[in-house]
């Protein structure tokens, strides 16, 4: 009796040890680094919610592997912090994949870590063209500023907008947006009557808007990072630019779905080019918005969320192709060329650049049943990043 009991316990202990080992191998750990606090916390909140939603809707396993997400808050402003968190996730937590990256400087600082450790790095939010050149282990499911800025430039040129004043946030995606707007707009006969760059943190837009108004353009082109649009919109109205007949155009970051409804009247009529609107008319998007709002106390998904959702889709589908293995470059190779229907529409991961190709929609802010939405009225299909050298 005692012997049996002893044997049983020993077997049980051995079984537990084996189980733990087997469990570790059966798990794919994803280190998700996002700005969960600080000035860009809305981006972190949206991407995290979408990652959780993807897992809830598709199950906690992929190719037989348990998916475990380890979330780290990098507070969004210190590239060195993001890089250190990535190193810790790889060395201590043994993550197989890095993901997230709310802003360009944070993604760029981390790229060498991915290269050195041969760990795939899924950029779910940041949007400067050069990022995918920084490491052969980077795959992007967000967007590039050049995609949306080039499309709004072409639209402006054929829409009787002749003089434009540009205002962009003074960091990499702002410079990308400004350059690609200018190179699309000027050759088609447009004139840039002024260009200003606003500080990335705590910007006061009033003096910039006054100078834009004094230049009497047909339109102001604006790029601001997700989260800053409401303050800009308020001052655009208060400074009398709308009243002076100056249109507001740009990439869709300024009319971000996360805060658009709260902007009220001043936002109505803003025309932007972007890859995602919560009002996008497709069955995939209707189901996405409904599930997202239900899981997040009514929060409306924005463009950042879709980068997170599609990033998870790319991870799940690639694991299916590799039989659940994440061997650095083999995983990246398996992800190349992947196509699917996202809530945003059709997308593709370009095999040569590892960047996302997607439709860019032209949208106008309208009141739809008492709520403000970016209503799509035209599109350019499957835009490859025009910013790739």
Tokens standing for 373?
């939405």
Handedness of CA 188, 190, 195, 198 (dihedral sign): negative
Tokens standing for 353?
């650049």
Smallest gap from residue 65 Cβ to ligand VNL (A)? 30
Q: Does residue 318 touch ligand VNL according to CB under 6 A?
A: no
Contacts to ligand VNL from residues 160-219, by CB under 6 A: 173
Smallest gap from residue 373 Cβ to ligand VNL (A)? 18
Q: Does residue 48 touch ligand VNL according to CB under 6 A?
A: no
Q: Does residue 128 touch ligand VNL according to CB under 6 A?
A: yes
Q: Does residue 127 touch ligand VNL according to CB under 6 A?
A: yes
Pairing of strands 345-349, 356-368: antiparallel
Q: Does residue 126 touch ligand VNL according to CB under 6 A?
A: yes
Report d(CA 140, CA 132) in Å as an integer.
Answer: 7
DSSP assignment of 245-256 equals T-EEEEEGGGG-
Report d(CA 103, CA 360) in Å as an integer.
Answer: 21
Q: Which residue has the CB atom at the shortest distance from ligand VNL?
A: 225
Smallest gap from residue 372 Cβ to ligand VNL (A)? 18
Smallest gap from residue 8 Cβ to ligand VNL (A)? 57
DSSP H or E stretch at residue 15: helix 2-25
Q: Does residue 147 touch ligand VNL according to CB under 6 A?
A: no
Report d(CA 144, CA 180) in Å as an integer.
Answer: 11
Report d(CA 326, CA 25) in Å as an integer.
Answer: 11
Give which of 172, 42, 76, 126 is closest to 311, Cα–Cα: 126
Q: Which is nearer to ligand VNL, 55 or 103 (CB)?
A: 103
Q: Which is nearer to ligand VNL, 255 or 296 (CB)?
A: 255
By CB under 6 A, name the one of 43, 150, 255, 342 that touches ligand VNL: 43
Handedness of CA 200, 206, 209, 210 (dihedral sign): negative
Q: Does residue 226 touch ligand VNL according to CB under 6 A?
A: yes
Residue whose tokens read 């050149």: 133
Report d(CA 152, CA 328) in Å as an integer.
Answer: 37
Q: Which is nearer to ligand VNL, 50 or 96 (CB)?
A: 50
By CB under 6 A, name the one of 100, 225, 229, 387 that touches ligand VNL: 225
Contact predicate 83/103, CB 8 Å? no
x/- track of binding to ligand VNL for residues 84-103 (CB under 6 A): ------------------xx
Q: Which is nearer to ligand VNL, 47 or 96 (CB)?
A: 47
Report d(CA 63, CA 66) in Å as an integer.
Answer: 9
Q: Which is nearer to ligand VNL, 127 or 343 (CB)?
A: 127
Q: Which is nearer to ligand VNL, 30 or 146 (CB)?
A: 146
Q: Which is nearer to ligand VNL, 81 or 128 (CB)?
A: 128
Q: Which residues bind ligand VNL (CB under 6 A)?
A: 40, 43, 102-104, 126-128, 173, 225-226, 253
């Amino acid at each position: 009796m005692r012997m049996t009991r002893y044997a049983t316990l020993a077997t049980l202990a051995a079984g537990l040890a084996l189980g733990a080992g087997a469990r570790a191998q059966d798990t794919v750990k994803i280190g998700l680094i996002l700005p969960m606090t600080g000035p860009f916390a809305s981006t972190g909140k949206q991407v995290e919610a979408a990652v959780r939603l993807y897992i809830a809707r598709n199950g906690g396993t992929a190719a037989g592997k348990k998916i475990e997400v380890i979330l780290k808050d990098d507070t969004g402003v210190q590239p060195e912090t993001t890089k250190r968190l990535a190193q810790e996730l790889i060395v201590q937590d043994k993550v197989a994949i890095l993901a997230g990256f709310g802003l360009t400087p944070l993604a760029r600082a981390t790229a060498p870590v991915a290269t050195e450790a041969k760990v795939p790095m899924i950029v779910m939010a940041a949007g400067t063209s050069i990022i995918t050149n920084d490491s052969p282990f980077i795959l992007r499911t967000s967007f590039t500023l050049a995609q949306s800025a080039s499309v709004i430039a072409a639209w402006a040129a054929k829409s009787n907008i002749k003089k434009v004043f540009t205002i962009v946030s003074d960091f990499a995606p702002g410079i990308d947006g400004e350059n690609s707007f200018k190179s699309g707009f000027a050759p088609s006969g447009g004139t840039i009557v002024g260009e200003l760059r606003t500080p990335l943190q705590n910007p006061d837009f009033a003096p910039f808007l006054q100078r834009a108004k004094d230049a009497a353009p047909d339109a102001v082109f604006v790029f601001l990072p997700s989260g800053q649009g409401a303050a800009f919109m308020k001052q655009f109205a208060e400074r009398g630019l709308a009243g002076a007949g100056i249109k507001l155009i740009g990439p869709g970051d300024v009319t971000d779905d996360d805060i658009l409804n709260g902007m009220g009247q001043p936002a109505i009529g803003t025309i932007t080019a972007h890859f995602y609107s919560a009002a996008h008319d497709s069955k995939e998007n209707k189901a996405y918005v409904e599930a997202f709002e239900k899981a997040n106390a009514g929060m409306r998904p924005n463009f950042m969320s879709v980068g997170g959702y599609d990033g998870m889709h790319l991870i799940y589908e690639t694991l299916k192709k590799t039989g659940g293995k994440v061997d650095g470059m083999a995983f990246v190779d398996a992800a190349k060329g992947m196509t699917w229907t996202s809530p945003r529409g059709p997308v593709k991961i370009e095999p040569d650049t590892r960047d996302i190709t997607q439709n860019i929609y032209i949208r106008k802010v309208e009141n739809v049943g008492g709520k403000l939405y970016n209503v799509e009225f035209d599109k350019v299909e499957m835009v490859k990043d025009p910013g790739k050298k």
